[in-house]
Amino acid sequence: MVNYIGTATPRVDGRAKVTGEAKYAGEFSAPGLAYGSVVESTIPKGRIARIDTSEALRVEGVLDVLTHEKRPRMAHTDDAYKDETAPEEGSPFRPLYDDRIRFSGQPIALVLAEEWEIARYAASLVRIEYEKQAFVTNLYKQRDEAFVVKKPHKPRGNVKKAYAAAHVSHEAEYFIPTEHHNPMELFASTVMWEGGGKLTVYDKTQGVQNVQRYLCSVFNKKADDLRVISPFVGGAFGSGLRPQYQVVLAVLGTLALKRSVRLVLTRQQMYGLGYRPATIERLALGAKADGTLDAITHEAIAVTSQFEDFSRNDTGWAALLYKSANAKYVHRLARLDVPTSSDMRAPGAATGVYALESAMDELAVALKLDPIELRLRCYSDRDQNEDVPYTSKQLRECYRQGAEAFGWDKRKPEPRSMRDGSELVGWGMATGVWEALQMPVAARIVLTANGHAEVSCAASDIGTGTYTIMAQVAADTLGLPLENITIKLGDSTLPQAPVEGGSWMAASASHAVATTAKEVRKELLALAKAVKDSPLAGAKLEGVVLTEGKVVSKHDTGRAVSIADAMRHGAIDRIEKEKTNSFPDDSSHARNTHSAVFVEVKVDEQLGVIRVTRVVSAIAAGRILNTQTAHSQIIGSVVGGIGMALHEETQFDHRFGRIMNANIAEYHVPVNADVRDIKVIFVDEPDDIINPLGIKGLGEIGIVGVAAAIANAVYHATGKRVRDLPITLDKLQR
């Protein structure tokens, strides 16, 4: 029996990607394709008093210039602009809708031309006069105006009293700056004018059906008339969860010209989209003399726009990790004149757990306890927010195996006590936690008599390996070799799927495939039993398996009917089934993934340069579908964590309300030279409650805790506690 699940299976789309055969949204073409270029606002708040497009229109090759004054019709209700990932509260941004300026970098005109260069040049000739208004882009200026977001996490006990009575306590404020996703692929849409009112939209997105519903509602189109396709995505990190403005503009352009239009944003323009919100986190921890926690206060103040309330769970994570009878969490939002913040790389957890795990390290220092020992003393076997046990939680094993692989027992506890030549050596650790979510996903399987199966679903593969794991599950559940499986994804006409995000797609899509495969097996068995003198007469579904292209009795492998024979006898040449996954939707268990991250840094004592020389990430995330793609996901996430800790920061000039480093020369991300030795351990975590295959999903868990582990290692190396990210060398000197 073939068994692909759990193996290191190379990406089935790897070849297409490295040969350039895989096409991305900005690479599709059509005869007569026109090109768009966006004009952005240079002020953060006010009105467009006058917009003069005459000079741009005179450029040879320019086809049209669209503005709020001159554009095809768009919907005029807030509801029409709410996509499946839009914040509940507020009114989504509508590009080119009216004369109001809500943020710097807002699209205010779209130039359409025969060539991209012409469009871009003409865009520089559009003249705008603004009526400026007072604005604020600095979170610290607005923190006192921040309002409380209603969150379900209930307070426990009397935290004030417990904190006052604590034997040892620690209170501090931590800061995470605004960060931008910066995926490799630029946001792009190519909209094909199909005639007869039909459009095909190639879009960079994490969810084609989400974009389809959104565009249909904004442009009052029927679902059959607007198809959205996104076979490959060059990274997104959450930026592709919501439909972005370029897809709206590309459709507007197509409707205006009645021609196909391609619009690719520049790197700089991508800083006018969503971002990880700058967040101030305040932690107050109180411990008893025995080193157990008795009081936790976690407060966060995060950025959102003036027009939508975006927030994620920053503050509730302590209740999943650490026992404490008394706890209180408060999440506030501050409105700034910027675009709405958005999901980015483990939203809420990457930031909230950074603060929590930094504070835990500081508490361990105050208690003179090993940081792992403190975490073990506070270890919680229940989710205290909901007071329920976990479907599985092998975090203890993460600590144990991670520490062993890292060599943690050789750590000298005193800061500045370990050296390597002229460099200070620091060892730090932190815990990571994320959700193991599942969403409704449908899959269609078409099995043909030659033993080939095509599996299709609207889900996107944002680079995470969805094609590959779906092929593995299909191969195993249909008993076919991997080469006999074709996966089709990223097309709104395929069976329903939500956006790919939240690390929920692997578990969700796998079970959609497994559920549908069961229906295929049922039908095949019925056909096999109907074969004359069938060796499987009387066999039950549970009593047979599909293997090597045959329906085989589990009890007697000699009793078998091939797929080809079964279909021939039934006079059919294919079986087609479509089913939606199902999963227990009860609240009797918490579903989470966990990690323990160990980091070594080396710090040049004179210059303050910090290098992350070693990382060990021990992950507990249920059954691992593909050890190779899973490993790659965690490596990528750890690199994201290095960026968060040491490099990434979107910097504003608050006098102008504009981003100063809107490019990847000055917005620093880790490069190869910043990435040394990263070891990933997958801890065995059987889970027969969460779903039949025991899958939890990966990706985001790999970043949570990394920034704290690095910050803790920097403290251990230098004796200097930097509480505002990124930890740049100047901060070590101050």
Q: Which stretch binds ligand MOS (CB under 6 A): 31-39, 117-125, 250-258, 340-348?
A: 340-348
Mapping DSSP to helix (H, G, I), strand (E, B) and coil, where does residue 41 land? Answer: coil
What is the residue-wise DSSP string for 294-334?
EEEEEEEEEEE-SSB-----SSTTHHHHB--SEEEEEEEEE
Site string for ligand MOS, 604-633 (x = CB under 6 A): ------------------------------
Using DSSP, state whether 678 is helix, strand or coil: strand
* 238 part of the interface to ligand MOS, by CB under 6 A: yes
CB of 350 to ligand MOS, least distance (A): 9
CB of 407 to ligand MOS, least distance (A): 33
Tell me if 502 contacts ligand MOS by CB under 6 A: yes
Measured in whole angstroms, the distance separating CA 695 from the mean position of its chain's CA atoms is 18
Applying the rule CB under 6 A, the residues between 561 and 580 that interact with ligand MOS are none
Give the C-alpha separation, 205 to 207, whole Å. Answer: 5
In the set 299, 423, 648, 700, the catalytic residue is: 700
Q: How many chain residues interact with ligand MOS (CB under 6 A)?
A: 9
Note whether 642 and 706 are within 8 A (CB).
yes
Stretch that binds ligand MOS, among 325-333, 341-349, 352-360, 535-543 (CB under 6 A): 341-349
**Which one, of 8, 123, 180, 24, lies nearest residue 664 by Cα?**
180
513: nearest Cα among 451, 452, 445: 445
User: For residue 262, what are its two tokens?
Assistant: 């391609």
The Cβ of residue 577 has, within 10 Å, a number of other Cβ atoms equal to 18
The amino acid at 651: Q
CA atoms of 663 and 443, how far apart (whole Å): 39
- Return d(Cα 595, Cα 589) in angstroms, integer: 19
Place of tokens 């450029």: 59
The minimum distance between CB 228 and ligand MOS, in angstroms, equals 18
- Shortest distance in whole angstroms from residue 495 CB to ligand MOS: 21
Min CB(353)–ligand MOS separation in Å: 14
Helix/strand/coil for 675: coil
Residue 501 binds ligand MOS, judged by CB under 6 A? yes
- Rounded to a whole number of angstroms, the minimum distance from the CB of residue 319 to ligand MOS is 21
CB 225 within 8 A of CB 197: yes
Q: Which CB sits closer to ligand MOS, 326 or 595?
A: 595
Applying CB under 6 A, which part among 149-157, 217-225, 337-345, 624-632 lies near ligand MOS?
337-345
Contact 732, 381 (CB under 8 A): no
**CB 641 to ligand MOS: min, Å:** 14
Distance set, CA 156 to CA 171, 355, 412 (Å): 19, 20, 36
Name 173's bridge partners.
282
Closest distance between ligand MOS and the C-beta of residue 347, in Å? 5
Q: Which is nearer to ligand MOS, 457 or 499 (CB)?
A: 499
Which CB atom, from 238 or from 253, has the smaller least distance to ligand MOS? 238
343 part of the interface to ligand MOS, by CB under 6 A = yes
| Cβ atoms of 435 and 698 closer than 8 Å | no
Q: Where in 193-212 is the site for ligand MOS (CB under 6 A)?
A: 206
Q: Give me the residues paired with residue 328 across strands.
A: 297
**Residue 344 touching ligand MOS (CB under 6 A):** yes
347 binds ligand MOS (CB under 6 A): yes
Asked if 170 is part of the footprint of ligand MOS (rule: CB under 6 A), the reply reads no
Question: Site mask, ligand MOS, residues 681-700, x = CB under 6 A?
Answer: --------------------
Binding of residue 234 to ligand MOS (CB under 6 A): no
Nearer to ligand MOS, 305 or 477 (CB): 305
Does 345 bind ligand MOS (CB under 6 A)? Our answer is yes
Q: How far is the CB of 241 from ligand MOS (least distance, A)?
A: 6
Which class for 364: exposed (0-12), middle (13-18), buried (19 or more C-beta within 10 A)? buried
Q: Is 65 in the site for ligand MOS (CB under 6 A)?
A: no
In contact, 316 and 297? CB cutoff 8 Å: no
Q: Which one, 206 or 297, has the nearer CB to ligand MOS?
A: 206
Judging by DSSP bridges, how do beta strands 127-132 and 46-52 pair with one another? antiparallel
Interface stretch with ligand MOS, choices 33-41, 339-347, 378-386, 482-490 (CB under 6 A)? 339-347
With binding defined as CB under 6 A, does residue 356 bind ligand MOS?
A: no
Chain Cα centroid distance, residue 706: 16
Task: Please select the residue that binds ligand MOS; options are 111, 241, 485, 512, rule is CB under 6 A.
Answer: 241
Kindly calculate the radius of gyration of the chain based on its CA atoms and give it in whole angstroms: 27
- Between 477 and 633, name the residue whose CB sits nearer to ligand MOS: 633
Q: Is 117 a catalytic residue?
A: no
Residues with catalytic roles = 700
Query: What are the residues binding ligand MOS (CB under 6 A)?
Result: 206, 238, 241, 343-345, 347, 501-502
